[in-house]
Amino acid sequence: MKDSIVALAIASTLASAVASLVAAPAAAADGKAKEKCYGVALKGQNDCTAGAGTTCAGTSTIDYQRNSWKLVPSGTCETIKTPNGHGTLTQGPAPV
């Protein structure tokens, strides 16, 4: 009985390790570097905390909020056009 419990514990640990290895690189699966791009996220679709009015992912209150960001492929941020202009690598002011 003791041997089967030890074997089960080892199998569980191995399964957890393999699962975390497979899941972790999912965000960087394309192998490309990413950068924070401010002012391009739609309402509720920002990636994480940026400043006043945002606490983490999905908390931006308006489209293209200047103090919320999305991760985009490196080198593309300032080429993204929005109704308010282009994306920026620096945080803007919170909405009024």
**In the chain, where the domains are located:** 1-29, 32-96
* pTM recorded for the entire structure: 0.62
Q: Any alpha helices (H) in the chain, and if so which ranges?
A: 2-23
CB 28 within 8 A of CB 69: no
Read off the tokens for 4. Answer: 């089967």
Predicted pLDDT of residue 73? 97
- Per-residue pLDDT reduced to its tens digit, 1-44: 565 554 444 444 434 433 333 333 334 456 789 999 999 999 99
